[in-house]
């Protein structure tokens, strides 16, 4: 078993240079043999991750807070328990009304429903 506990010291700014109040917690980052990345993303109240093209399919699960997401030109409100799936090459963004905590799973292969 391996337990990871992100702290403020392990947080790094989100990859987008103009992201405001968004942190990718590196201690929660895992990369698997099948090129799967799992991260914890925290977006502070009023923070945002601006529009950017994703290089992989990305599934996010909202575990805390409320906000909105954009994908494919559609804006949707999100809250605890919601999941968001963006496809590789899709323009995406996140805005937090309250502090928003997301568990992000990015994969090189196409994600499908069972």
Residue 110 maps to a domain: no
91-96 mean pLDDT = 94
Residue 105 maps to a domain: no
Residue 30 maps to a domain: yes
Residue 49 maps to a domain: yes
- CA 21 to chain CA centroid, Å, is 13
Residue 86 maps to a domain: no
For residue 42, give its domain range: 16-77
Q: Work out how many domains the chain is built from and give that number.
A: 1
Residue 95 maps to a domain: no
Model confidence band, residue 27 (pLDDT cutoffs 50, 70, 90):
very low
Half-sphere exposure of 108 (CA within 13 A, CB side): 6
Residue 71 maps to a domain: yes
Strand 36-53 with 100-107, pairing: antiparallel
State yes or no: pLDDT of 12 exceeds 60. Answer: no
Of 23-32, 54-63, 72-81, 92-101, where does mean pLDDT reach its minimum?
23-32
Residue 4 maps to a domain: no
């Amino acid at each position: 078993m391996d337990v990871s506990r992100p702290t403020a010291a392990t947080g790094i700014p989100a990859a987008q240079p103009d992201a405001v109040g968004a942190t990718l917690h590196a201690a929660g980052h895992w990369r698997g043999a099948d090129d799967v990345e799992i991260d914890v993303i925290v977006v502070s109240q009023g923070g945002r991750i601006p529009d950017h093209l994703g290089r992989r399919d990305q599934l996010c699960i909202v575990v805390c807070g409320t906000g909105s997401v954009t994908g494919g030109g559609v804006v949707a409100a999100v809250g605890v328990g919601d999941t968001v799936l963006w496809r590789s090459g899709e323009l995406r963004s996140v805005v937090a009304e309250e502090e928003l905590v997301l568990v992000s799973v990015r994969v090189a292969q196409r994600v499908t429903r069972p």
